[in-house]
Amino acid sequence: MSDYSITAVTRRVVYTGSAGVGPYAFSFPVLTQSDLAVYKNAAKLTLTTDYTVTISSTTGTGSVTLVSAATGSDRITIIGSRTIERTTDFVTAGDLKASSLNEQLDSQIIMIQQLAEENKRTLKAPQYDPAAVEDGGSVNMVLPVAASRAGKTLAFDASGNPVVGEDIGNWRGNWASGTSYTVRDLVKDSSNANVYRCNTAHTSSGSTPISSNADSAKWDLVVDAASAAASAAAAAASATSSAASAALANDWATKTSGPVAGGEYSAKYHASAASTSASNASTSASNAATSAINASNAQTAAEAARDATLAAYDSFDDRYLGSKSSNPTVDNDGNALVAGALYFNTTVPEMRLYTGSAWVAAYVSGASYLLTSNNLSELAATAATARTNLGLGSIATQAASGVAITGGSVNGTTVGASTASTGAFTTLSASGTTSSIAAVLTNAAEPTTVSATAATGTVNFDVTTQSVLYYTTNASANWTLNIRANSSTLLNTLMSTGQTITIAFMVTQGSTAYYASALTIDGSSVTPKYQGGTAWSSGNASGIDVYVYTITKTANATFTVLASQTQFK
């Protein structure tokens, strides 16, 4: 067995089954795999059959991996369960090795920690309770003997010590002669339905009723059925009488369908008749007032309409002056002209508009003008002359996809200049020459997706929308990274043979670290070549792990991938 420190730790840990088969870590050191007990919900699992154990050779801590995956609704419990025994003795005058002594002491500490963990989950008196009886105090937490407490409730006496709880009684059914009864037995007297409780243990004799039986003093009356029945009957009769009186009183107060008695009507009937008469009178008065108001409003509206019509006609007469042989100097009312006034000149003839200072033609002929709907087709015969007049060069006649630029500038930068212009390109290819670099970038930025997501399951990396993917929530399980162009395009379609791209995946790790356990491209598994030559088998806790993948397409659907994992914290 390994030799390591047994730290102060609770030998129990509980997880939900959201990690599937795991691994589920335990932080308390053990000496062997059998020092653990694993439960899935309430079922105790079997080592090897249901789970396997991995133990660190330097700390004794480790993890449990299930054979069958659990779900998020399951509870996985790992506890220390070393058998409390000692199977090795030190022989007199024999070797006393430090490793053997450490093993025995470690085993004892582990068993003590197990008992301490179990003790935490027991029913016990608080530390600050009075002293126990054996220490001169009053607390005695020992349960009553099994025969006394069987089938009973647990209660506590005045000192807070456990005792058998008192029941109200033990129902025995109908009383019968020759039956052994004990204290608190309950019976029914079949002759009158009374219920009694036994106060003295005895064997019954005689007959019912119990009240006249020789053992009547040994019974206490609990339910007097006869008295209860008589009281109930009297109450029912009283209720019936009260209900009849209440019904008649209610009729005198509220009946409206006819007389209550002797041709007399209820108070509500007379009140309703009076209210109806008052309401009818009020309605008539209100209708008359409304009719008067409506008539007055109609007169006012008619007068307003008349005045508006006259004003509108006068306004129109001041603006359209009709047909005249020469420019008028005043309107039809002899008043000064207003700007916007119109008249038809019968001499020219044409419609004329007064600008406020002079009369001008209200419209012109459209014979010499261009129509928008003709899209400049009127100039087809003189296109070359029109371009010359507009100062347009030969570029105006070039096709959109075949413009040859032999001079000038783009976005304010001379073509061929050393300083590039700003611009946006969907696809940009620069080939360079044997003596010049194809492209030089200054202050270039890579698109980065920052997401409050935990790495788990399959993580899709879309290279058309990002160069870097950063998950800011702690990883919750190992994951598979799938690299693709996007959800509708394969990376194999996006890339040509001989092209290489580089991406980075930044993963936030909590106290339990996970790692990228597999890599796929377009959903197909790819085995990368790892930095240093060895594949990683774990993540790095409490930091950020950065995975960088350089992907080269060497043939159709064939890729060489260089991969590295670096921790930052």
Query: pLDDT digit string (tens) for 196-217?
Result: 999 999 999 999 999 999 999 9
Range from 20-24, 300-304, 371-375, 439-443 carrying the lowest mean pLDDT: 371-375
The reported pLDDT for the residue numbered 118 is: 74
The reported pLDDT for the residue numbered 367 is: 61
Residue 560 CA, chain-centre distance (Å), reads: 41
Distance separating alpha carbons of residues 116 and 134, to the nearest angstrom: 22
Query: What are the structure tokens assigned to 8, written together?
Result: 């102060």
Distance separating alpha carbons of residues 452 and 556, to the nearest angstrom: 35
Assess contact for 194 and 210: CB atoms under 8 A: yes
Reply yes or no on whether the pLDDT at 17 is more than 80: yes
The reported pLDDT for the residue numbered 250 is: 83
The reported pLDDT for the residue numbered 424 is: 57
**Structural class in CATH, domain 170-227:** mainly beta
Cis peptide before 126 (omega within 30 of 0): no
Reply yes or no on whether the pLDDT at 359 is more than 90: yes
Distance separating alpha carbons of residues 4 and 545, to the nearest angstrom: 30
Could you report the per-residue pLDDT of 456-481, keeping only the tens digit for each? Answer: 999 999 999 999 999 999 999 999 99
Could you report the per-residue pLDDT of 329-339, keeping only the tens digit for each? Answer: 999 989 999 99
Amino acid at 462: D
Residue with tokens 């890579």: 446
Distance separating alpha carbons of residues 259 and 277, to the nearest angstrom: 20
Reply yes or no on whether the pLDDT at 290 is more than 70: yes
Percent of the chain whose pLDDT exceeds 90: 47
Residues forming beta bridges with residue 479, ordered by sequence position = 457, 516
Q: What residues have CB less than 8 Å from 114, skipping those under 6 apart? A: 11, 79, 80, 81, 82, 84
pTM for this structure?
0.33
Eight-class DSSP state of 414:
E
Q: Are strands 36-40 and 43-44 parallel, antiparallel or unpaired?
A: antiparallel
Alpha-carbon dihedral 432, 437, 442, 446, rounded to 10 degrees: 70
Distance separating alpha carbons of residues 324 and 520, to the nearest angstrom: 91
Distance separating alpha carbons of residues 105 and 90, to the nearest angstrom: 13
